[in-house]
Amino acid sequence: MEARVETEFRSDIEYKTLLDKFKTVLKKEGLRFTKQREVILNGLYSVDTHLTSEELYQLLKSNNPKSNIGIATVYRTLSLLERGELVTTLLTDNTKKYELSAKEHHDHIICTDCGKIIEFVSPDIERLQESVAEELGFKILDHSMQIYGICKDCRK
């Protein structure tokens, strides 16, 4: 069987769009749009990786030295974003990592040797997931999938 695979998602959501999405979520929950929340969203957007809460916190501190964000706010905002489905989480090496999910859904293939993470989507797999869920009586909301293996470079 031959699988179609797509691996390019990076620049496909504009920051403006993301921001609007966020504001919509906030409004829907009756929450306020604050400078800190925007800085955190922007930090996640600006970075092309999966971050732990601590890494994100450090990033924000160095990018916005004056804005003096607290780690508690980072946690609170990450939960908020997670509930609002703008952020997804990933458990790698026993640590929880966050990334923006809003750009476009994708899965992960992770090299257990060097830690490299490639994002991909296989429309065929997506479709099968739908059909599995249906057979088991579920209405799908979301899914997460990680493949672990050794990448080409590490096999040399």
Contacts with DNA, residue ranges (CB under 7 A)? 26, 30-37, 52-54, 67-73, 75-77, 79, 94-96
Q: Closest separation between CB of residue 27 and DNA, Å?
A: 9
- Asked if 86 and 100 count as a contact pair (C-beta separation under 8 A), the reply is yes
156 is a site residue for a second copy (CB under 8 A): no
113-146 exposure pattern, b = at least 16 Cβ within 10 A, e = fewer = eeeebebbbbeebeeeeeeeeeeeeeeeeeeeee
Cβ contacts of residue 2 below 8 Å, gap of 6+? none
Q: Which one, 37 or 97, has the nearer CB to a second copy?
A: 97
Q: Which one, 30 or 137, has the nearer CB to DNA?
A: 30
Structure tokens at 106: 């994708």
Q: Closest separation between CB of residue 52 and DNA, Å?
A: 6
Binding residues (CB under 8 A) for a second copy: these are: 1-3, 5, 7, 89, 91, 96, 109, 111-112, 118, 120, 122, 124-125, 127-129, 131-133, 135-152, 155
